[in-house]
Structure 1
Amino acid sequence: MKFLAGLAVAASLASSAASAAVASAPVYILSKSASTSTSSSDSTAPSVPRQIVRQILLQRLAATEASSFFDTLPRDYDADAALGLIERFGGDASSLFEGADVLARHPEMLVVVEGVTDKHVAAIEGALSASPAFTVADPPNQAANAKLFVDELAAGGIVAHKEVALAEALAPSAWINGVFVGLYDVKREPSVVDEIVKALPEIVALAAAGDADVTVVLMPEGSRATKTNVWAKVHKSTKSEHSKIKHQPTAAAIELRTDESVFIEGSDTEFDSETTFAKASSDNSNNNAGFKPVAAAAGRIPACFQSFNSCSTQTNSCSGHGKCVDKFAVNSGGFASQKGGSCFVCHCYSTLNRPEDAEGGLSTTQWAGNMCQKIDVSVPFWLITGFTVAIVGAVAFAIGLLFSVGEEKLPGVIGAGVSRSK
């Protein structure tokens, strides 16, 4: 009987430990924007892997990271779904081609509370009057939190505060670079939950007024016991994976490698290879005539980005005139084909100024540059230059031909007819 009782106790302990380990971490987003803010009427929050949550938080803080995003995704996870989650919850990237007032970073507050229980979650959620925007499916341990929120953010110039009370950090104008990151531990400070609950009404009002966006991450107490000590880890591809990806290219790879079969967005007409151009951006199709290139922000844009997220953020999604692609990837978003890692660059498109059936005929604008911020005039330039050179050459040839004919001696018969009589 004692043996059976011991087995029952061990089984119950194992089950409780397993349930604590798999407990998800709710994430709340408070923003004036309806597309990202959470509300009490939200449906079931999506469960997001920690690797994607890391990218979401880094993008919201406008922080750069060194690892390749696609190489950190969980095995067999859809890259398009990951990008959709980042686009939905990661906030809007600031434009590089606007004035200095627009370039100023929008204030962002990140509050991370470690060691919370169901009771703590209920108290904080009640003060927020909102449901989670999403949950972290597999929250890592405290060591991983320190690496991400302290070490990685410090490398990007963002300081995580552990001793500053949340009630004393409600002035966005006092935040360094418009960012405040608070890291709190319930086990170390049991009263921190009560302090957060008291400060939440002011935080909610701050977000509702549009003065700052607020993200609250509640890490469960059970995550301390997990063996996951990193938020994201770069996977090393094998030869079999390379072979599988090589023989099964994605639609994105086919789109990048096929320049002959392309369509204008918003049009049902397909053009042949003599009139082909890449997809047109519908947002810019009506205002390209008034486009004036504006100087970008000070700073050097690298020739190669190590992740899709950093490329999209620092180039403002290629200025809206293209998209970031990995030129070393076997399938444009899979495993890198070279040992040097990923290299994301901007792949520029053309925009539609005037459709083919409009008055004046088809008109497009081709974009170029490392951020697709310049109008490509190489084709008109070489057309005008080639035409000018051809005309000048034809005129020079005609003049030279006339001179060569005039310099030739007259035949003897013609010379005798005009000779002087004796």
Structure 2
Amino acid sequence: MRPYIGIVLAALSGTVTSASQPSADVFILQSNQQSSTETPRVPKEVARHVLLQRTTRDRYGSDLRDIPHTIDLENAIEYIARYGKSPAPLFAQKATTEASQLVVILEGVTAENAGPLKKSLARSSQQPAFAISDPPSSTANNRLMSHLRALGVSTPSSSQCDLASVMNPFDNACWDGPSAAVRFDLQKDPETINVLLDNLSRLEKFVSNGELEAIFVLMPESSRTSKVNHWSSIAAGASSELRHRGDSETVIADDFGRPTKAPVSHVGTPHVWAQTGAKAIPQCFNTFNSCMTQTGNCSGHGECANKYGKNATSHCFSCVCMATVVRRGDEPGSRGRKTVHWGGSMCQKEDVSVPFWLITGFTIAIVGAVSFSIGLLFSVGEEKLPGVIGAGVSRSK
């Protein structure tokens, strides 16, 4: 009986430990708000991919290699597709304007200081989109912010920009691109919650206008000293749990150390096919889902469509690329936007053919006009002048 009692006690101990570990609520504010009656609990690795997909999808891809073997890959892909940035609508009449992406990590969250925020969000019909079941430590958050900064995401510190300024996507002092990520400690700066509540209505206006999408990650105070010091399993040394799927490729972890080799999956997120280079992406997919999955939703710049028609019996799904409008955040003092056209088999390449042919055609026209003018001047200068015509005046007698 004693072995069985030991097993039962160990199981109960694990259950109590899991139950005592509070989760981190994640709120997603976007114009096409998704309503749900439940709050699923997702692992930190999947939550990390959601943050990366929203803030860096137009420039970087991810291949889900850090998803442990204990996590179902299909469920992970479903969560990333559900909570990631929505792809542009297919066959739009004009280029769509992409909303800026904001990630706010609030550390030191307790029931007391987060209560007013959750009540205010509840009045706006905002419920937690999901909860991180194993929130990592403050050290892991530091590494995540460094990783986002290395990928080109704006990461102003709390001393550089207050929360009110960061919540304005047109504040060029805090935004130097289409996405930003900030981190605030509620224990060190308790007024952060009041600032957030005072500017919540303005934030919701930006969201409703389609100019901004925001994610709030409420990290519980108990996670500050957690033993989990990485958002990625690869960085934590859990390479033995990685899935053995396909060819090897350089691993990108939270802290940019020396690249390692690990199995890679050609499933799920943008640029996977383009990065590996081992295989060319198929010209046709048999189903819409396989096309969207293996092209990473066409890199977020289009959608798969059947080239034979919607109601055709034959199926050949491929990416249909669309134009997007992004903010000119790199130009000082500029608030304008520019249209970007995309191409490639998975819409992963920026199409520069139109500007190229405009510049080339204009150059050829100018050179031709100048050459014609110079030739005309030479032809006029070499023409012989007519002889002197007599005035018809006769000598007088």
Question: TM-score interval w.r.t. the shorter chain?
Answer: 0.5 to 0.7
Where does structure 1 lack aligned partners over 5 or more consecutive residues?
Answer: 1-13, 244-251, 254-276, 285-307, 323-349, 375-422
Quote the residue 1:279 is aligned against: 286
Change (3 A) 1:69 1:222: farther
Residue of structure 1 equivalent to 2:53: 59
Q: 2:155 aligns with which of 146, 150, 160?
A: 160
Q: 2:287 & 2:68 partners in 1: Cα distance?
A: 33
Q: 2:239 aligns with which of 228, 236, 239?
A: 236
Contact 2:28 2:216 in 1 (8 A): yes
Say which is worse superposed, 155-164 or 19-28, in terms of deviation: 19-28
TM-score for the superposition, normalised by structure 1: 0.53
Aligned pair partner of 1:109 in 99, 102, 122 = 102
Shift of 1:34: 2.9
Question: Residue 169 of structure 1: CA displacement?
Answer: 3.0
Q: Which residue is equivalent to 1:205?
A: 205
Q: Is the 8 A contact 1:206 1:212 kept in 2?
A: yes
User: Match for 2:299 among 316, 326, 341?
Assistant: 316
- Residue type of the partner of 1:28? F
Residue 156 of structure 2 is aligned to residue 173 of structure 1: no
Query: Are the counterparts in 1 of residues 56 and 153 from structure 2 also a CA contact under 8 Å?
Result: no
Question: Bigger relative contact order, structure 1 or 2, given CA contacts below 8 A and separation 6+?
Answer: 2
Deviation string 1:219-265 (CA, Å, 9 cap, x unpaired) is 110001211010012243489x869xxxxxxxx99xxxxxxxxxxxx
CA distance in 1, matches of 2:19, 2:316: 58
Task: State the SS of the aligned residue for 1:138.
Answer: coil
| Aligned counterparts of 1:173 and 1:86: Cα–Cα separation in 2 | 27
Which has the larger Rg?
1
Q: Contact 1:46/1:134 (CA < 8 Å) preserved in 2? A: yes
The 5 A counterparts of 1:17-416 are 22-35=21-34, 42-63=36-57, 69-93=63-87, 102=96, 105-129=98-122, 130-149=126-145, 151-161=146-156, 162-163=158-159, 164-174=161-171, 175-234=175-234, 235-237=238-240, 278-281=285-288, 312=296, 315-316=298-299, 319-321=302-304, 351-353=307-309, 371-372=345-346
Per-residue CA deviation, residues 321-343 of structure 1 (Å, 9 max, x unaligned), is 49xxxxxxxxxxxxxxxxxxxxx
Q: Write the deviation string for residues 135-167 of structure 1: whole angstroms up to 9, x where unpaired.
A: 110000001101112x11111111222222122
Distance 1:65 1:144 in 2: 23
- Aligned-pair identity (%): 24
Could you list the per-position Cα deviations for residues 270-312 of structure 1 after superposition, in whole angstroms to 9, with x for gaps in the alignment?
A: xxxxxxx741549x9xxxxxxxxxxxxxxxxxxxxxxx89x62
Secondary structure of the 1:86 match is: helix
Query: How far did 1:93 drift?
Result: 3.8
State the SS of the aligned residue for 2:308: strand
Give 1:186 shift: 1.4
Task: Give RMSD over aligned pairs.
Answer: 4.3
Summarize the Cα distance change of 1:119–1:99 in structure 2 as closer, same or farther, 3 Å threshold: same
